Amino acid sequence: IELFDVRKDFARGKVLRIVQPSLQRAQPPCKLFKVCGGCQWQHIAYENQLAAKNDLLRQALKHIGGLDSDKLQGTIGNSQPLFYRNKVQFPVARSGDGRGFLAGYYKEGSHELVNIKHCPVQPEPFDRLLSAVKEALSANSLSAYDESTHQGLVRHINARFSFACQQILLTLVVNSRPDMPVREIEALEAAAAEVMRLVPEVVGVCLNFNWQRGNRIMGQTTRCLVGAAHIVEILKSKFPDAPLHLRQGISFQLSANSFFQVNSGAAVILLDEVLSAVSGTLTARGCGVLSQHGKIPLLVDAYAGVGTMALWLSGIVERIIAVEAEPAAVCDGKVNMELNGIANIEFRHGKVENVIPQLLAEELLVDVLILDPPRKGVESAALASVVQLGARRIIYVSCNPATLARDLKFLVDKGYQVMKVQPVDMFPQTHHVESVTILDRLS
């Protein structure tokens, strides 16, 4: 190993030569594994990936959160550790001759593009889609974006896939304002029509406008170019005693900008863990008082996205307030309520740090609070408001052990107790860890 970054408390290194392979080592299923930065752990046998993710959480809880790991459970694995992604985002670049398109993932730690044709963590229709999009864009003389010059039109190829309906929603991120020239619109429409002809799973093509420099992938404005502006995914609970509507399936309308878990199969595992945390252990510990209908009176779902968790829990909760900052996700969430005949969810548009103080002003008695923040964790101002809100139980869904541990430390210092930390493998073949943590208020 060659160390290239030595700090006071840790060091980073790269492998120069393998003297003797570990028994945990596996043959990566992708030929581009050594150069592509999309997956980091394909060289680790899957059962050892699960153990390593558990160890990542344990270390974060101890060293960052100062917490014992006695409440940490074993990582729940995925029955399909390959071909699982329902969403992809490919940056693009010009080919060497300047006429064609390259698309794929960046090398780890760089912005050097690795052009891919096949990816073992995405379903097969995405392989055909990527080939068809590159071909159609080139055939219609559309240009690829160059981040060094801020020139070129197409920046990213984004797509969502519904495993239940076998449908794709394609979104092209373009370096343009919404009032782009008619000739470019016509060229994009022609390319979209060609893609839909070549890949029958594609039911719609959208344009997202991002004319700003920087690494942000999506801009604020999206409009449908051809076909449908959304797809529908259906998730079904695996719990035999789950409410009937969950076992039959909840439908989710997904648009280009909406947040949704990238692994539909693992999302069900995660949602059922949250369901168990809300329905079983809460009332068993005497932390809450049921309504006259035998339901939990009030639950707040912060960072609600398209209402995934709110919809999943709607059958056991009297009233749900879902807080979401992305307007498109709020619109999808309201449509999802109609799709599933659910009426007890109230969406509140706004940032969590702004909406929770509003709930405090209303003097609401919150029984359960769900936090499902992005990787950066919960904003400090929002955390302070969370403590003031005083929910009897907090369920923290995290995709980043470091920020989870940081936020848990704050909540524990303010009077909450960690009851359980359950990692779920949402991202097989990568080092990313998803987890569900249950905290109860001590007084």
Given a contact cutoff of 8 angstroms between Cβ atoms, the answer to whether 312 and 270 are in contact is: no
Strands 250-254 and 345-349: unpaired
Q: Is 100 exposed, middle or buried (0-12, 13-18, 19+ CB in 10 A)?
A: middle
Residues 6+ apart with CB under 8 A from 433: 53, 56, 57, 75, 399, 400, 401, 423, 425, 427
Q: Rounded to an integer, what distance in angstroms lies between the CA atom of residue 172 and that of residue 206?
A: 6
What are the structure tokens assigned to 297, written together?
């009176």
C-alpha–C-alpha distance, residues 144 and 15, integer Å: 34
Contact 86, 165 (CB under 8 A): no
Q: Are 160 and 167 in contact (CB under 8 A)?
A: no
- The SS3 of residue 18 is coil
**Numbers of helices and strands, H then E, in the chain:** 11, 18
CB contact at 8 A, 206 and 225: yes
Q: For residues 66 and 154, what is the distance between their CA atoms, to the nearest angstrom? A: 46
Cα–Cα distance, 336 to 338 (Å, whole number): 5
**Closest CA relative to residue 24, chosen from 52, 60, 57, 55:** 52
User: CA-CA distance, 316 to 368, in Å (whole number)?
Assistant: 12
Any idea what DSSP says for residue 421? Answer: E
399 assigned to active site: yes
| Secondary structure class of 134 (helix, strand, coil) | helix
**How many beta carbons lie within 10 A of that of residue 227, not counting itself?**
15
Annotated catalytic residue, options 36, 39, 331, 399: 399
Token digits of residue 249? 């399936």
Determine what percent of the chain falls in helix, strand and coil, rounding each to the nearest 5. Answer: 30, 30, 45
Any residues with CB less than 8 A from the CB of 171 and at least 6 apart, and which?
Answer: 158, 159, 160, 205, 206, 207, 208, 222, 256
Answer yes or no: are the C-beta atoms of 417 and 395 closer than 8 Å: no
Q: Which residues are catalytic?
A: 399
